[in-house]
Structure 1
């Protein structure tokens, strides 16, 4: 089971939330579909209850995010990160320059253009892929770096009624969405 990969994913999500909303020393709750956790962990739990058993065993020892708690919530798995985990991310995890710039663009320009978004990618690693999403998708475009060491996530963009939003997915969750 790839415990470290899940810890990195959780840390990335907490850092993104802190960049968007600001830091507060509080409990953070993340929700994962079982399929996503299976992919991240390299496991094959059949349902949320089996996943809870795997997670509780894998995280018996305290992690850098503190003592994690796991619950089943509407068929998904809730991972509860204590306030000291949120504080650890704030104090110990460097802010990714790319993510900071992307979030700043979305905060300053609620109707940012595809060209502006692509410029942020260009500024941080010249080789990226921008694809039009299939008809009927919830998103208009998907953008990701060819080199995942710059940023490993897929950013799905939706433009509607004067607002532009993004959602960030792992590659496997992005592929499953297609």
Structure 2
């Protein structure tokens, strides 16, 4: 499994919450759909009967994966991540993983929240986005585009058809910010939600 992308996503989510709400030294729980969780680990969990595919060949792709086998494979992932040689301690502390209502519940201890607050700098672009949405309840799409343009002219802004969101914006250069920002405008309020690329592609079909 490739854990670095998952670690980065967990850190990014904690940082975003702290920038919006402030820092509190307490445990944090994050919830991931299994598909998203597997993507972040560089794995793919297929539907029943399709087999399991893994770049690291962690699971056999025999084309005959039963519901019971898939549960075992999920449990194997969680056990490996929770093991002493799994996710590790690092700056986030002893992170724990369990399945909860069909999702993966990730619990970060208080020292992990403090580590992110103390050691991880506020991403400049995310700071600008939060300030934009914090100072105005209904920024226009032009306002959001202007925020992107301050950091690079090479960004994409597209109207989303037949979806809960109205627009999506993202940078061509993922080094600036790798997320896809989906914008919803409704009843005088504008909100954003950011997705990893794979989750956005699944969202729009």
Question: By how many angstroms is 1:83 displaced?
Answer: 0.6
Q: Which residue of 2 aligns with 1:76?
A: 103
Q: Which residue of 2 aligns with 1:152?
A: 178
Q: Which has the larger radius of gyration?
A: 2
Superposed, 1:8-157 pairs within 5 Å as: 8-45=8-45, 46-47=70-71, 48-57=74-83, 59=86, 61-135=88-162, 137-157=163-183
Contact 1:59 1:68 in 2 (8 A): no
Question: By how many angstroms is 1:176 displaced?
Answer: 0.8
CA 1:60–1:103 in 2, change beyond 3 Å: closer, same or farther?
Answer: closer
Q: Structure 1, residues 104-136: CA drift from partner, whole Å, max 9, x if none?
A: 11011011110111111000112100011122x
Rounded to whole Å, the distance in 2 between the matches of 1:54 and 1:163 is: 43
Q: Which runs of 5+ in 1 are unaligned?
A: none
Are 2:190 and 1:164 equivalent residues in the alignment?
yes
**Higher mean C-alpha displacement, 151-160 vs 23-32:** 23-32
Larger helix proportion, structure 1 or 2?
1
Equivalent residues, number: 177
Q: Which residue of 1 aligns with 2:7?
A: 7
Rounded to whole Å, the distance in 2 between the matches of 1:129 and 1:83 is: 37
Q: Structure 1, residues 45-82: CA drift from partner, whole Å, max 9, x if none?
A: 54553442342246353122000111211100010001
Q: Which runs of 5+ in 2 are unaligned?
A: 46-69
- TM-score relative to the length of structure 2: 0.82
Rounded to whole Å, the distance in 1 between the matches of 2:201 and 2:40 is: 14
Rounded to whole Å, the distance in 1 between the matches of 2:159 and 2:116 is: 34
Which runs of 4 or more aligned residues in structure 1 lie more than 4 Å from their structure 2 counterparts after TM superposition? Answer: none
Contact 1:31 1:78 in 2 (8 A): yes
Q: Structure 1, residues 115-168: CA drift from partner, whole Å, max 9, x if none?
A: 111111000112100011122x01000000010000000000000001000001
**What is the Cα-based RMSD across aligned positions, in Å?**
1.4
